[in-house]
A = this chain, B = another copy of it.
Amino acid sequence: PPGRKVLIVYAHQEPKSLNGSLKSVAVEELSKQGCSVTVSDLYAMQFEPRATRNDIVGCLHNSEEFNYGVETWKAYKRGGLSSDLIEEQKKVQEADLLIFQFPLYWFSMPAIMKGWMDRVLVQGFAHEFPNCYDSGLLKNKLALFSFTTGGSREMYAKGGISGDIRYLLWPMQHGIMHFCGVKVLAPHICFAPEYVSEEKRKEMLTAWAQRLKTLWKEEPINCSPEWYFK
């Protein structure tokens, strides 16, 4: 609906890829709805995935023994995080919905996107004990993981060789988003696009556009072990 803000965190090297098209479809459809859409194109930004001392501007809280979690927390409090992190946090803060668009790499997100999680979702900004899970600091936001797989739907079925696809969503949806208080919409999964026809791939794009039309009416999943491992 008009006025809603969406941040798409996008991790693919190739604009012509299906992931690139899925991203473009989302930008187009959500903009058409009157949403304001921002894209963090991680490879194009050459986003830094490594959590290092460079993320803190100025002096360290404890320069004797570097503790990344403590240092970024303290730096956040005094406005001393590196500018790329401040930039991303601003986008997250403004967003009503976060869409993560990526190819599944090794049952998880590509390292460049994991680095976005590791570095952007700093203590004090995204969570701060006891403000985690349902009272995480990013509550009232929604997240949606949209990804492509190498393996087929059959491999990722319950009892399939790779196990129920939901098993691998636990760390991403529960461990990261739910931990920060973000409510999680059902994932959007395109299975094995590299092994289907061009026509099938077009259908995947249409299905995504279609889903986005009624996305704001969706209820979040119940992000508890039952959803994943029942």
Contacts and interface: CB of A to CB of B under 8 A. Distances in A.
A68 B103 CA distance: 11
Copy count, this protein chain: 2
A22 to B, nearest CB: 15
A171 B121 contact: no
Contacts of A67: 14, 17, 194
B167 A49 contact: no
A16 interface: yes
B171 A65 contact: no
A102 to B, nearest CB: 11
Contact of A51 (B13, B107, B121): B13
Residue among A107, A161, A194, A228 with max Cβ neighbours from chain B (10 Å): A107
Contact of A52 (B13, B64, B119): B13
Given A50-B49, A163-B170, A175-B168, A106 B133 contact: no
Contacts of A179: 106
Q: How large is the interface on A (under 10, 10 to 19, 20 to 34, 35 or more residues)?
A: 35 or more
A216 interface: no
Contacts of A170: 107, 163, 167-168, 170
A85 to B, nearest CB: 14
A16 to B, nearest CB: 5
B69 A150 contact: yes
A64 B168 CA distance: 32
Contacts of A107: 170-172, 174-176
A78 B64 CA distance: 46
Interface in A32-78: 43, 46, 49-53, 64-69
A51 B46 CA distance: 11
B108 A171 contact: yes
Interface in A1-26: 13-14, 16-17
20 contacts: A13-B52, A14-B67, A16-B65, A43-B52, A49-B112, A51-B105, A105-B114, A105-B118, A106-B114, A106-B118, A107-B170, A107-B176, A108-B175, A114-B114, A115-B115, A163-B225, A167-B167, A167-B225, A167-B228, A170-B170
Given A108-B114, A108-B175, A111-B119, 7 more contacts: A13-B51, A14-B66, A16-B65, A43-B52, A49-B50, A167-B170, A167-B171
